Amino acid sequence: MAERDRWALWLPVFFAVGIGLYFALAVEPPLWLGLGGVIAAVGLYLVLRGTPSGPALSLLALALVAGFLTAQVRSALVQAPVLAKRIGPVWVSGEVETLEPRAKGARITLRQPDIARLGSSETPARVRIVVSSVAPDLRPGDWVRLRAVLRPPPGPSAPGAFDFARQAYFQRLGAVGFAYGGIHSVKRQTPQKQAAIFTPFDAWATAWAGLRTDLARRIMVALPGRSGAVAAALMTGERGAIAEADMAAMRESGLAHLLAISGLHVGLVAGLLFLGLRVFLAAIPSLALDYPIKKWAAAGAVCGAFAYLMLTGATIPTQRAFLMVSLVFTAVIVDRSALSMRLVAWAAFAVLVVAPESLLSASFQMSFAAVIALIAAYEFVRERFGVRFASQGILGRIGVYVGGVASTSLIASLATAPFALFHFNRIAWFGLAANLVAVPLTALWIMPWALVAFGLMPFGAERFALVPMGWGIEGMLGVAHTVAAWPGATLAVPAMPTAGLVAIALGGVWLCLWRRAWRLVGLTAILLGLLSAAATEPPDVLVSADGGLFGVRAADGALLLSSRSRQRFSGETWRRRLGEDEAENWTSASTELGSGLSCDSLGCIYRAGGQVVALVYDSRALTDDCATATVVISREPVRRGQCRSVRRIVDRFDLWRGGAHAFWLRKDGVRVESAAAYRGVRPWAPQRPPAARRRHREKARGAPGI
């Protein structure tokens, strides 16, 4: 019965575990499984409610199965058509839902699209298209027509890598592509191929998206250059115009979180509004003496934070931050503690109920890890040193502030580091030093001027606030570039297995939610999770989903790519997951570019782990390679019986069916993993039909030259 007041904090944790179990399955479970689990948990509660620990245990079980069922229902509700294969160029028309500026051109999302050659049952609900240029007056809500090449949202670049197709599924994004030529504005149309699948909230969100686009353009006109791009990101959430060099510097210096609208920005906006409103109301004696102006200021801060939420796109991390801020100021209004672990727990629960898939996102994991760790540290410090800090003089309070910024940055960095390792495979060693300068600069200078700029925009005078804001942004970017240039500023680390991240997350929650000495058991789970990265064996050979890119490991562990210009995203993902800073490439004319690797114009032979691997570009190489290789990986189809002595064959159709492949070569055999096997058969990862494979095989057998 110890720490009974903390038991309720575990309900959102078990709810999240249920969601995690749903996404961990290799096959889509039937809906009755989740419903049956909820009914069984309710029955368990009724049976055990008279026992000392029965109600608590049964409620935890109910939370777990409820999380599982919530994820099932969410997956069913967002289901929409996904493009089956690459098509185009085709004419596409639709309503602009979002318009994201880029350094060159823009990326637009069209909803209710009309796509030539597709029927209603095949037309996606949304498509995302990269365009080389857009008209200056184009904005969300406009209807456009363009010619584009479309393809299904791509799956993982390697087994276990980020699954964009899963993310796109929950956004009802059924196709991505690029446009040929310009964009033509057309009159508003009535969709011919789709049912009414959008809600009134979508029209509301489109109106905010139009305002966001207009404000971003005004900001970058008033404050041109890199400062304007960053100002637009901080004020509207549009980061596409930021130069890649600046983005890289922010990442490598540990300051990238300052560009992602999350708890820091929403908290600053709400906090500054609260302070400003309270000071303004306090200056009116008739209000200050007779009315609860503190509560009025708190309500105004919530309204302002909501406007900022909608203006910046209402992304999952921004929703989480708004919910947290709202709970904090609601606690002020009802005279409750404004900061507690219980508020954080229920904020996480609310976010997961609305969007259970957010559990898998880096933003959810990192933001809640930072907040939970900070509140746990706050509780620890408040219990032991609160009175001592309250009695400090001016100099002492300045020291407390500086120490608070440093300790906050350190705690948040330590809490989020494992998740950054898992998702981004990099450590920013000097992030603490950079944050000690950049965070106060953002909080005390940049964001206050952003609020002033918002206030001046109705009068067209925003430049008077944006210019001094730009001075602060230049200082922040200067810190980022300086720290990123320090020797050894970042360290690339190999990918961590999912089980390791789960161990770290559960260990961290155990450490932060409990108060007694047994909380330290969580450190063991965290340590085991971190060690799992060191125990992970990197693959020897990697192949992209279409066979267009090969990667092998040299004797010294370096990654060698068949090309550094083709499929750059896949090559970058492989390099990052292997913990490599750079990757070398080989050419078709090479003879001996790395230990065990030799190439000619038809393909390459790679020797490692007692195996001989043939990487085949051209089917003419199969006759010789099949006679010497133990493993054949071919961009071209391999006829049945053509390579009888080969232990393992992965050809064009295996890649088509299984996606990207990874190979581990050992003397006792070859281990192969495919992205499709890792993902399982889920709504966002449908299985390729065997009948289609057979048709392709029959066609391959009759093809000349094979």
pLDDT in tens, 607-623: 988 899 999 988 888 88
Kindly state whether residues 570 and 682 are assigned to the same domain.
yes
Assess if residue 466 is contained within a domain: no
User: What is the mean pLDDT of the segment spanning 396-409?
Assistant: 66
More confident residue, 2 or 213: 213
- Do 527 and 504 touch, CB atoms closer than 8 A? no
Rounded to the nearest angstrom, the gap between the alpha carbon of residue 512 and the centroid of all alpha carbons in its chain is: 24
384 contact partners, CB below 8 Å, separation of at least 6: none
Which of 329, 284, 283 is CA-nearest to residue 302?
Answer: 329
In a domain, 478, yes or no: no
Angle, alpha carbons 95-100-103 (nearest 5°):
140
Residue with tokens 């408040």: 382
- Peptide linkage before 89 cis (omega within 30 of 0): yes
Minimal CA–CA distance to 97: which of 247, 211, 202? 202
Domain edge (last residue) among 515, 536, 557: 536
**For the residues 668-679, what does the mean pLDDT come to?**
92
Task: Tell me: pLDDT of 60 over 90.
Answer: yes
Asked if residue 343 is part of any domain, the answer here is: no
Q: In this predicted model, what pLDDT tens digit does every residue of 329-382 receive, in sequence order?
A: 887 887 766 567 887 888 889 889 989 999 998 888 988 898 899 889 888 877
Question: In the predicted model, is pLDDT for residue 701 greater than 70?
Answer: no
Instruction: Among 77, 100, 135, give the residue marking a domain's end.
Output: 77
The whole-angstrom separation of Cα 314 and Cα 308 is 9
Note whether 518 and 548 are same-domain residues: no
Cα torsion through 245, 248, 249, 250, rounded to 10: 120
Overall domain count for the chain: 4
State residue 342's pLDDT score. Answer: 83
18, 139: one domain = no
Same domain, 55 and 107: no
- For 563, the 3-state DSSP assignment is coil
Same domain, 583 and 653: yes
Please count the CA atoms within 13 angstroms of the CA of 45 that sit on its side-chain side: 14
371 shares its domain with 517: yes
- For the cut 90, the answer to whether the pLDDT of residue 472 exceeds it is yes
Decide if 601 is inside a domain: yes
Six-digit token string for 641? 């019986």
Same domain, 397 and 524: yes
Q: 93 and 73: one domain?
A: no
312 domain residue, yes or no: no
Angle, alpha carbons 477-482-485 (nearest 5°)? 125
How is residue 323 written in tokens? 């919910």
Amino acid identity for residue 287 in this structure = L
472 occurs within a structural domain = no
Residue of 546 and 699 predicted with greater confidence: 546
By mean pLDDT, which of 26-30, 35-39, 435-439, 670-674 is the weakest?
435-439
Check whether 595 has a pLDDT greater than 70: no
Q: What is the mean pLDDT of the chain?
A: 85
Pairing of strands 541-543, 87-101: unpaired
Question: Are residues 588 and 686 located together in one domain of the fold?
Answer: yes
Q: Are 92 and 129 in contact (CB under 8 A)?
A: yes
Most confident of 70-84, 425-439, 585-599: 70-84
- Judge whether residue 589 has pLDDT over 70: no
Element (H, E) at 616: strand 611-616
- Checking if the pLDDT of 392 tops 80, the result is no
Of 107, 112, 23, which is closest to residue 71 (Cα–Cα)? 23
Lowest-confidence region among 60-64, 213-217, 266-270: 266-270
Residue 9 inside a domain? The answer is yes
Distance CA 356, CA 359 (A): 6
Contact, 685 vs 165, CB < 8 A?
A: yes
**Separation in Å, CA 641 to CA 614, 623, 626, 628, 692:** 17, 12, 10, 15, 20
Are 564 and 635 contained in the same domain?
Answer: yes
Find the CATH number of the domain harbouring 164: 2.40.50
**322: in domain:** no
Per-residue pLDDT reduced to its tens digit, 186-221: 887 666 555 445 566 777 878 888 899 999 999 999
Do residues 560 and 546 share a domain? yes
Domain assignment of residue 509, given as a range = 361-429+494-536
Long-range contacts of 367-370 (CB under 8 A, 24+ apart): 367/262, 367/263, 367/317, 367/320, 367/321, 368/320, 368/344, 369/415, 369/416, 369/419, 369/505, 369/508, 370/263, 370/411, 370/412, 370/415, 370/416
The predicted pLDDT at position 488 comes to 85
**Average pLDDT, stretch 302-326?**
83
pLDDT reading at 698 higher than 70: no
Do 553 and 693 belong together in one domain?
A: yes
Question: Distance (Å, rounded) from C-alpha 242 to C-alpha 230?
Answer: 6
Does the pLDDT value for residue 184 go beyond 70?
Answer: yes
Q: What pLDDT does residue 705 have?
A: 32
User: Could you tell me which of 387, 382, 379 has the C-alpha nearest to residue 516?
Assistant: 379
Of 77, 102, 137, which residue is a domain's last?
77
Does the pLDDT of residue 628 top 90, yes or no? no
